[in-house]
Structure 1
Amino acid sequence: MDDGDVITMSKRGQWVNRVVGGEELSQSFRSRDEAIDAGRSLATQLGSRHVVVDSEETGVITDEEIDDGT
């Protein structure tokens, strides 16, 4: 992947658009279709590639586990 490329993927139950080398432009979405549409549009604006990493939707959004030391 090159800087500016947009990657749409599932991450902990949400769909995210990650911009290589431009993390401040990254966004998250509730649905795959919404993320793909936005990712395609963002890649067009940036003049870069859009890649979708396929995975099944779980329907569950999870937070990272917090280790409280107990």
Structure 2
Amino acid sequence: MADDQLRDGDIETLDKRGQWVNRVIGHEEISESFSSREEAIEEGQKLAAQLGSHHIVRPAEPEGVITDPVEEA
């Protein structure tokens, strides 16, 4: 299944401004958010198994934040 062919009930795990969300296609009321990617993926897989649906994980969008400290010369 291609990522753009999600069907009703499929689970999509994605990053929304640092919060990881399991979005249930067509059933937003049972979507959930998590503070860690790992937890969201684990719970997304469980929910997909319960619903008999597919689960995909979208990569996080680059934030453009420099994470390495700048060293003074």
TM-score (norm 1): 0.78
What fraction of aligned residue pairs are identical, expressed as a percent? 59
Structure 1 counterpart of 2:58: 53
Measured on the aligned residues, the alpha-carbon RMSD in Å equals 1.5
List per-residue Cα deviations over 1:6-56 (Å, max 9, x = no partner): 000000110000000000110000000000000000000000000000116
Greater relative CO (CA pairs within 8 A, separation 6+):
1
1:5 aligns with one of 2, 10, 28: 10
Indicate how the Cα distance of structure 1 residues 57 and 15 shifts in structure 2: closer, same or farther if over 3 A, else same: farther
Structure 2 counterpart of 1:39: 44
Q: Show structure 2 runs of 5+ residues with no match.
A: 1-5, 64-73
Structure 1 counterpart of 2:67: none
State the 1:5 CA deviation: 0.2
Aligned residues: 58
Q: Show structure 1 runs of 5+ residues with no match.
A: 59-70
* Displaced runs of 4 or more, over 6 A: none
TM-score (norm 2): 0.75
